[in-house]
Amino acid sequence: MAKKSTRRQEIVELITAEEWRFDDLRRELGLTVKVLEEDLHHIGRSTRATGMKFVVRSASCIGCGFIFSRKALHPPGRCPKCKDRRIDGPHVKITS
């Protein structure tokens, strides 16, 4: 009988294969923002111990191109520059 992988192992497999937008990953897995943030924080700590690198690419505004300086895992509500709510990212990936 094959061993079933945990939710965090599934997340690691997904974000090792390709870069994911936070909201897309959340929808794919059917998780809440809080649960996915907790899992990603744990995965970030775990990957450092294995020599892998957990990368968070900051969110950006689709309207004006503003790049958010914070590396928060969930997307901000709106752009502070143009007040647009169309935000791309943040994106997460694991690299070697």
Q: What is each CA distance from 23 to 2, 30, 37, 49, 73, in whole angstroms? A: 30, 10, 11, 26, 10
| Residue 37 maps to a domain | yes
Summarize pLDDT for 47-95 with one digit per residue, the tens: 888 888 988 888 899 989 898 887 778 778 888 889 889 988 899 999 8
Alpha-carbon distance of 68 to 58, in angstroms, equals 6
Domain housing 89 = 7-95
Distance CA 50, CA 70 (A): 25
pTM of the full structure: 0.78
Would residue 85 count as lying in a domain? yes
Q: Is residue 80 part of a domain?
A: yes
Taking the C-alpha atoms of residue 66 and residue 83, their distance in angstroms, rounded to an integer, is 11
Within-domain flag for 1? no
Give ∠ CA 81-85-88 in degrees, rounded to 5. Answer: 90
If one counts the domains in the chain, the total is 1
Give the span between the Cα atoms of 17 and 19, in whole angstroms: 7
**Domain membership flag for residue 2:** no
Cβ count within 10 A of residue 93: 16
Domain of 68: which CATH number? Answer: 1.10.10
Residues 5-60 have pLDDT tens digits of 788 889 999 999 899 999 899 999 999 989 999 999 999 888 888 888 988 888 89
Does position 2 have pLDDT exceeding 60, yes or no?
no
